[in-house]
Amino acid sequence: MSTLLTKQQLENHLLQFRHVLSSFDYSSIQNIRFLNLESFFVYMDNVENNPFKQQYDELQKILDAIQPYLPFVSSKRAKDFLNALGSSSDDEEVDTIKRNYTEKLRQDFINLARTITIEDEWQRIIDICEEIRLRKEEMLLALH
């Protein structure tokens, strides 16, 4: 298991995530329009020397740190994840499902974060992530 972040570390990562996400400058690629976030990620993964590489890498690094604390954005996605896990037959299939849903969870979270404009809404996201962090901390303490 990865190291558990403190409340302050988690909040700092989330605020840094928000800053990096809001700092993407699309003006250098005037002839390209992304239909959705998935098309942007495909572009990022397949176009070398793209103008977003540094920001994208920084965003992924932050997501790596906060991944264990991200909530499912939609109840449908959470239900689909649990159903897929419930119908899995072996550990390899479980690992594949987790990898697939990790990417979906990250994309959903980025989509959500991009649409939040009110500070109270952003604070609610921080509070939800902190609640998840607290549950993980409680589980860790219960094991010892």
Whole-number Cα distances in Å, 138 to 33, 132, 142, 144: 45, 10, 6, 10
> Using only C-alpha atoms, what is the Rg of the chain?
17
**What does pTM read for this prediction?**
0.82
Res 1: pLDDT = 47
Residue 57 has pLDDT above 90, yes or no: no
Q: Which residue has the higher pLDDT, 68 or 42?
A: 68
Res 50: pLDDT = 80
Res 40: pLDDT = 79
CA distance 22 to 110: 11
Res 2: pLDDT = 58
**Which tens digits make up the pLDDT trace of 6-52?**
999 999 999 999 999 888 766 677 777 778 878 877 887 888 888 77
CA distance 17 to 24: 11
Q: What's the mean pLDDT when you consider all of the chain?
A: 89
CA distance 130 to 88: 30
CA distance 117 to 41: 22
Whole-number Cα distances in Å, 90 to 84, 127, 130, 134: 12, 35, 32, 30
**Which tens digits make up the pLDDT trace of 80-132?**
999 999 999 899 999 999 999 998 999 899 989 988 989 999 999 999 999 99
Res 64: pLDDT = 95
